[in-house]
């Protein structure tokens, strides 16, 4: 390269191109690529409500503690309200150069009220600010998740009540095992989603400590009142250690863990609906509202919503893997890696919400083919255990032996292409002479179901009791 070397910028030169929030010691603006990799405003603008609430609480505390003059504090509060209104009206212009939501809000505040806006950041850092905002956002997401899980439970309980006595095959290994009732099956999911709600509430309890006042990492020399800001923002207490407060994201990991577990539960329900709606099963039919057609095959009704609920479990679990890998091995306290915490959490909870609402809709709408279920329960030797149990009860046979005898009878029925109850008594007696006609009466699926009348069992009477208890516990 020829030409004169560029003149060095004199120390007194204006650095107008540098970031107005932290550009003091900088001579030039960041490279475009630096700005691009650094900016989080594209996604963290979702935190604007939490950010402004946090700033207002911080400002009120600074005023009360006389860290900032009351008049300045009042101007800041009013300015923040105006910023909030601008964002809600969609008028706010987010600027990538201002990196993130915190600096976008503060810069706009400055434009609105002038240099007093600069007092807001006293005794605060973006490190405690973002930790506080994010905790509040996750807290809201947990509360929404709880409400959406409850709505899904309500739909399942309602359908369970309609089907306390609807007999269907129960499966293990996806092989017909024993008859159960559809109500019982649906209530199994109500229990799973109930535990998911417990996990969301537990997570909220641990999450609900306020990082504000931790400042960058070490706390602050200003006489702040951390109890006050914590209370104002709905936290139970200020976090006990300022380093921990700005460093950890375990609350987000825990939220993602419970979201992943809920998504796994949803995916199993979705998979069953997909199977059950197939021509081979024919147990249920989706409403038009929750199925799609094929652009090529006119006869098709595809369970796309259920398939997507099943599929999204992958990305929700993936969000946990993403954030846990990001956090692993980070030295205390804040590192910019942690800016990567938000997108997986936003995406996971958006996806989970969609899945929960779609599942409730599908369950509410789905048509049950009671006859197809009854027919399937009547096939596959689902009541073989009944015969074995009868041998134990009536003949006082040890269960292992009864199992053997029944196995031989089933094999014979299979060989002759008959159902168990179609096999004549002579044929059974050829295998076990003490079998009487009474034994054949236990072979009807409804009898098998009614017999399982223990607490938590599949008998219609038990399922009706479970429906009652589920309403009390969950709705």
Q: Which residues bind ligand ARG (CB under 6 A)?
A: 40, 44, 100, 126-127, 130, 334, 336, 338-339
Comparing CA positions, the residue from 378, 376, 356 lying closest to residue 368 is 376
According to DSSP, residue 389 is labeled H
Of 98 and 273, which CB lies nearer to ligand ARG in the complex structure? 98
C-beta of residue 183 within 8 angstroms of C-beta of residue 160: yes
Comparing CA positions, the residue from 153, 98, 202 lying closest to residue 469 is 153
Of 103 and 470, which CB lies nearer to ligand ARG in the complex structure? 103
DSSP letters, 112-178, are: HH-GGGGGTTTT--HHHHHHHHHHHHHHHHHHHHHHHHHHHHHHHHHHHHHTTT-EEEEEETTEEEE
The vertex-245 CA angle with 239 and 247, nearest 5°, equals: 160
- Is residue 55 part of the annotated active site? The answer reads no
Catalytic residue, chosen from 12, 40, 58, 173, is: 173
| Torsion angle, alpha carbons of 348, 350, 352, 355, to 10 | -140
CB of 42 to ligand ARG, least distance (A): 11
Comparing CA positions, the residue from 114, 148, 121 lying closest to residue 58 is 121
CB of 139 to ligand ARG, least distance (A): 17
Of 130 and 164, which CB lies nearer to ligand ARG in the complex structure? 130
Helix or strand run (H / E) with residue 260: helix 250-277
C-beta of residue 15 within 8 angstroms of C-beta of residue 26: yes
CB of 99 to ligand ARG, least distance (A): 6
Of 39 and 309, which CB lies nearer to ligand ARG in the complex structure? 39
CB of 7 to ligand ARG, least distance (A): 32
CB of 221 to ligand ARG, least distance (A): 19
- Is residue 294 part of the annotated active site? The answer reads yes
Of 100 and 378, which CB lies nearer to ligand ARG in the complex structure? 100
Hey, which residues are catalytic here? Answer: 173, 294
């Amino acid at each position: 390269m020829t030409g004169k070397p560029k003149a060095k910028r004199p120390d007194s030169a204006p650095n107008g191109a540098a970031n107005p929030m932290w550009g003091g010691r900088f001579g030039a603006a960041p490279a475009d690529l630096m700005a691009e990799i650094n900016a989080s405003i594209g996604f963290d603008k979702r935190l604007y409500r939490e950010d402004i609430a946090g700033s207002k609480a911080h400002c009120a505390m600074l005023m009360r503690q006389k860290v900032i003059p009351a008049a300045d504090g009042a101007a800041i509060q009013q300015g923040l309200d105006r910023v909030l209104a601008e964002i809600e009206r969609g008028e706010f212009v987010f600027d990538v150069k201002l990196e993130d939501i915190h600096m976008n809000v503060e810069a706009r505040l400055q434009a609105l009220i002038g240099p007093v806006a600069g007092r807001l950041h006293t005794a605060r850092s973006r490190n405690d600010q973002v930790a506080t905002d994010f905790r509040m956002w996750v807290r809201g997401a947990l509360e929404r998740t709880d409400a959406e899980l409850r709505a899904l439970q309500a739909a399942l309980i309602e359908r369970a009540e309609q089907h306390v006595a609807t007999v269907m095959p129960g499966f293990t290994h996806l092989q017909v095992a024993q008859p159960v009732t559809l109500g019982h099956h649906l209530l199994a999911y109500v229990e799973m989603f109930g535990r998911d709600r417990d996990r969301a509430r537990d997570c909220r309890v641990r999450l609900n400590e306020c990082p504000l006042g931790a400042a960058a990492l070490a706390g602050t020399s200003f006489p702040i009142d951390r109890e006050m800001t914590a209370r104002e923002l709905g936290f139970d207490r200020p976090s006990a250690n300022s380093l921990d407060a700005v460093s950890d994201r375990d609350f987000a990991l825990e939220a993602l863990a419970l979201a992943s577990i809920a998504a796994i539960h949803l995916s199993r329900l979705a998979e069953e609906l997909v199977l059950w709606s197939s021509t081979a099963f024919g147990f249920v039919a989706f409403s038009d509202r929750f199925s799609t057609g094929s652009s090529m095959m006119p006869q098709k009704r595809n369970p796309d919503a259920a398939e997507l609920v099943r599929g999204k479990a992958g990305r929700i679990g993936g969000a946990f893997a993403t954030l846990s890998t990001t956090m692993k091995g980070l030295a205390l306290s804040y590192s910019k890696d942690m800016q990567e915490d938000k997108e997986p959490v936003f995406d996971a909870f958006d996806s989970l919400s969609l899945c929960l609402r779609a599942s409730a809709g599908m369950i509410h709408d789905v048509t049950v083919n009671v006859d197809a279920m009854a027919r399937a329960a009547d096939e596959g030797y689902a009541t073989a255990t009944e015969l074995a149990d009868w041998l134990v009860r009536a003949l006082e046979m040890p269960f292992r032996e009864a199992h053997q005898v029944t196995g031989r009878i089933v094999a014979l029925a299979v060989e002759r292409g008959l159902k168990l109850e179609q096999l004549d008594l002579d044929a059974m007696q050829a295998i076990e002479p003490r079998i009487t006609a009474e034994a054949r009466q236990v072979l009807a699926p409804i009898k098998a179901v009614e017999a399982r009348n223990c607490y938590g069992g599949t008998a219609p009477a038990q399922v009706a009791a479970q429906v009652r208890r589920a309403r009390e516990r969950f709705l």
